[in-house]
Chains A and B, each alone.
Chain A
Amino acid sequence: AQSVTQPDIHITVSEGASLELRCNYSYGATPYLFWYVQSPGQGLQLLLKYLSGDTLVQGIKGFEAEFKRSQSSFNLRKPSVHWSDAAEYFCAVGLSFGNEKLTFGTGTRLTIIP
Chain B
Amino acid sequence: DVKVTQSSRYLVKRTGEKVFLECVQDMDHENMFWYRQDPGLGLRLIYFSYDVKMKEKGDIPEGYSVSREKKERFSLILESASTNQTSMYLCASSLIRTDYGYTFGSGTRLTVV
Contact = CB atoms under 8 A, between A and B. Distances in A.
A43 B101 contact: no
A95 B43 contact: no
A34 interface: yes
Chain A binding surface, main DSSP class: loop
Contacts of B50: 99
**Max chain A CB contacts within 10 Å: which of B40, B97, B101?**
B101
A95 B103 CA distance: 17
**Max chain A CB contacts within 10 Å: which of B42, B50, B105?**
B42
B105 A102 contact: no
A42 B107 contact: yes
Interface residues of A, number: 25
The interface size bin for chain B is: 20 to 34
Contact of A90 (B4, B41, B42): B42
B105 A92 contact: no
Interface in B34-48: 40-43, 45, 48
Contact of B101 (A9, A46, A96): A46
A12 to B, nearest CB: 17
B87 to A, nearest CB: 13
**10 shortest A-B CB distances, which residue pairs?**
A106-B42, A94-B98, A43-B104, A44-B104, A43-B106, A104-B43, A99-B96, A34-B101, A43-B107, A43-B105
5 contacts: A42-B106, A43-B106, A46-B101, A95-B98, A102-B98
Interface of B: 4, 31, 33, 40-43, 45, 48, 50, 58, 90, 92, 96-99, 101-107, 109
